[in-house]
């Protein structure tokens, strides 16, 4: 199937093509919208498209032709996860409860995208409420958007709540997409769909206007087909802004820790093989490596209280007709058939609603501060002790069938960086069963995001592991 834009074209290439007249933003935008129309019935990656996108693209083309001032992403279409407020489009978090919610302003990061000249193409599907309603619903399912499918094998899970953004990026529905993460929701779906997912350091991207889970961990970041595009988007949405070093060689003396990740009992030969190949490639590039073991912090005890407090604040201020607090939200879900409450439950909502009867706000705050500081100290100790530039780990295991729900053989390494607020990036690294993508993640120093992007770029250019999806209905027998 013809791509909306040539697979090898980066954001820089697209901008250059528009500058030289070989392509217009309107042409690119329309081709992306046509691709969404063709592929979305199978992938369910996009919830809604922006009907004004072609007109906005024409205005960028007019400005470019007249020599007007243009931003760093001028005319580049972008898809945004549907828990991020976008003026003129509903923000649903995948739930029927917010179907009529219309934000009064753009989220901070969307405002930056617009100032950078990006065309907001539409909103992507997600695990409902960014995966904070229940333990039982499949990854990538929402009542509004349906079940997102893995772009490589359609009956496999897309993993993680930013599934729509990752699948849309993999399928070429837009050059760039935006996801959000609390516990791996950028890293996991990006890895499972052979794209690059970048979770910045906490605080580098504004969380204003994002439907919250935990303001102490929530962060938005780019999901793209390559590291250069992730860096281009990050330069626009981040604060402060610095240009990353994107070179094909590591700086002299680069040292990387290698961690096998979090795994339940069992054998993971594909994951082991890909991690060994990635380690060998680091050596070829001149880096030295050392085996490390990361302790895994546990912040689950504070999330119910943080969710209740932050979602009540969001709902009370959001425009349109919808529940105004968590209690009303629970009642809505119990009474709306599309929410499938009797099947999937409301376990996390219910824990959150009762959270302030269990402990005091001060006790939750003290536990949060303790867990965060311990996670930062442990990561920082490893970096200092071994003089590391980054820590590499497997991002995911082979994607399981959607019908398996959560009875899965998990390979997960995103938790330390998520809790500590450190940057984390996943890069395609190989395949299980020749078709199911596997990635490796690099965790970097806190607030040294640009250095991490540069390191990931060097690895990506040396491996070039990504291949385009074939949209197989299932794995060949």
Q: Does 405 score more than 80 pLDDT?
A: no
- Helix then strand count (H, E) for the chain reads 16, 13
For 91-228, strand residue ranges (E) read: 119-124, 141-142, 146-147, 176-181, 196-199, 219-224
In the three-class reduction of DSSP (H, G, I as helix; E, B as strand; rest coil), residue 472 is classed as strand
For 349-469, strand residue ranges (E) read: 390-394, 424-432, 436-444
The burial of 375, by beta-carbon neighbours within 10 Å (0-12 exposed, 13-18 middle, 19 or more buried), is given as buried
Q: Does 100 score more than 70 pLDDT?
A: yes
The active-site residue out of 25, 149, 161, 162 is 161
Confidence of residue 6 (pLDDT cuts 50, 70, 90): confident
CA distances from 137 to 187, 350, 396, 399 (A): 19, 15, 19, 16
Cα–Cα distance, 130 to 94 (Å, whole number): 8
Query: Tens digits of per-residue pLDDT, 185-200?
Result: 999 999 999 999 999 9
Strand 219-224, strand 46-49: pairing: unpaired
User: CATH topology for 11-300+364-463?
Assistant: Amidase signature (AS) enzymes (3.90.1300)
In the three-class reduction of DSSP (H, G, I as helix; E, B as strand; rest coil), residue 64 is classed as helix
Confidence of residue 313 (pLDDT cuts 50, 70, 90): very high
Least confident piece of the model among 144-148, 292-296, 414-418? 292-296
Confidence of residue 406 (pLDDT cuts 50, 70, 90): low
The active-site residue out of 127, 185, 201, 206 is 185
Query: Is cis: bond before 295, omega within 30 of 0?
Result: no
Instruction: Identify which of 428, 389, 467, 398 has the alpha carbon closest to the alpha carbon of residue 277.
Output: 428
Average pLDDT value for residue range 331-359:
97
Give the H/E segment covering residue 257: strand 255-258
| pTM of structure | 0.97
Q: Token match 């760093």: residue?
A: 72
Concerning whether 161 is annotated as a catalytic residue, the answer is yes
Q: Does 408 score more than 60 pLDDT?
A: no
Average pLDDT value for residue range 113-131:
98
CA dihedral angle for residue 125, residue 334, residue 304, residue 165, rounded to 10 degrees: 0
CA dihedral angle for residue 475, residue 226, residue 90, residue 203, rounded to 10 degrees: 120
Contacts 24+ apart (CB under 8 A), 294-298: 294/259, 294/378, 294/379, 294/382, 294/391, 294/393, 294/413, 294/416, 295/378, 295/416, 296/262, 296/415, 296/416, 297/371, 297/374, 297/375, 297/378, 297/415, 297/416, 297/419, 297/420, 298/371
Instruction: Identify which of 175, 155, 227 has the alpha carbon closest to the alpha carbon of residue 35.
Output: 175
Q: Does 476 score more than 90 pLDDT?
A: no
pLDDT reported for residue 3:
77
- Label residues 435-471 b or e (16+ Cβ within 10 Å = b): bbbbbbbbbbbbbbbbbbbbbbbbbbbbbebbeebeb
Nearby residues of 167 by Cβ (< 8 Å), 6 or more positions away: 43, 45, 140, 148, 149, 150, 151, 158, 189, 193
CA dihedral angle for residue 255, residue 443, residue 295, residue 377, rounded to 10 degrees: 80
What is the average pLDDT value for the chain, to the nearest integer? Answer: 95
Instruction: Identify which of 261, 198, 278, 273 has the alpha carbon closest to the alpha carbon of residue 410.
Output: 261
Q: What residues pair up with 444 in beta bridges, in sequence order?
A: 390
The active-site residue out of 81, 123, 199, 308 is 81
Strand 196-199, strand 219-224: pairing: antiparallel
- Read off the tokens for 387: 């003089």
- CA 289 vs. chain centroid, Å, equals 27
Instruction: Identify which of 170, 166, 68, 80 has the alpha carbon closest to the alpha carbon of residue 121.
Output: 80
DSSP letters of 357-375? GTS-HHHHHHHHHHHHHHH
Confidence of residue 243 (pLDDT cuts 50, 70, 90): confident
pLDDT reported for residue 263:
78
The burial of 345, by beta-carbon neighbours within 10 Å (0-12 exposed, 13-18 middle, 19 or more buried), is given as middle
């Amino acid at each position: 199937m013809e791509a909306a834009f040539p697979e090898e074209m980066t954001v820089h290439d697209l901008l250059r093509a528009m500058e030289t007249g070989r392509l217009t933003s309107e042409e690119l935008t329309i081709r992306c919208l046509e691709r969404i129309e063709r592929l979305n019935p199978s992938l369910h990656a996009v919830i809604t498209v922006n009907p004004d996108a072609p007109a906005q693209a024409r205005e960028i083309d007019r400005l470019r032709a007249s020599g007007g001032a243009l931003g760093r992403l001028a005319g580049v279409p972008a898809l945004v996860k549907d828990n991020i407020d976008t003026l003129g489009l509903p923000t649903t978090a995948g739930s029927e409860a917010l179907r009529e919610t219309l934000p009064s302003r753009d989220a901070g990061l969307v405002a930056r995208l617009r100032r950078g000249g990006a065309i907001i193409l539409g909103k992507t599907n997600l695990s409902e409420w960014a995966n904070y309603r229940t333990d039982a619903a499949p990854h990538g399912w929402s009542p509004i958007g349906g079940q997102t499918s893995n772009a490589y094998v359609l009956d496999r899970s897309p993993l993680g709540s930013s599934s729509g953004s990752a699948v849309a990026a993999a399928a070429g529905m837009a050059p760039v997409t935006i996801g959000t993460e609390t516990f791996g929701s950028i890293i996991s779906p990006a890895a499972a769909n052979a794209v690059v997912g970048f979770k910045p350091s906490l605080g580098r991207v504004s969380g204003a206007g994002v439907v919250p889970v935990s303001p102490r961990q929530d962060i938005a970041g780019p999901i793209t087909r390559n590291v250069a595009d992730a860096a281009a988007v990050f330069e626009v949405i981040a604060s402060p802004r610095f240009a990353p070093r994107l070179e094909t060689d590591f700086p002299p003396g680069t040292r990387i820790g290698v961690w096998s990740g979090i795994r339940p009992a069992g054998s993971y030969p594909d994951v082991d093989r890909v991690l060994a190949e990635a380690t060998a490639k680091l050596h070829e590039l001149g880096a030295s490596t050392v085996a490390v073991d990361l302790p895994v912090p546990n912040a689950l005890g504070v999330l119910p209280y943080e969710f209740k407090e932050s979602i009540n604040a969001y709902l009370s201020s959001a425009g349109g007709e919808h529940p105004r607090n968590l209690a009303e939200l629970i009642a809505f879900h119990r009474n709306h058939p599309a929410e499938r409450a009797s099947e999937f439950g409301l376990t996390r909502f219910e824990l959150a609603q009762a959270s302030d009867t269990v402990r005091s706000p001060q006790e939750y705050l003290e536990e949060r501060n303790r867990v965060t500081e311990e996670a930062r100290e442990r990561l920082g100790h490893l970096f200092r002790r071994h003089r590391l530039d980054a820590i590499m780990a497997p991002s995911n295991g082979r994607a399981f069938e959607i019908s398996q729900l959560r009875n899965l053989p998990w390979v997960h390494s995103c938790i330390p960086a998520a809790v500590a607020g450190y940057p984390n990036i996943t890069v395609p690294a190989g395949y299980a069963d020749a078709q199911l993508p596997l990635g490796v993640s690099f965790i970097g120093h806190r607030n040294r995001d640009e250095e991490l992007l540069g390191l990931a770029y060097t690895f990506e250019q040396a491996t070039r592991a990504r291949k385009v999806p074939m949209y197989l209905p299932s794995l060949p027998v």
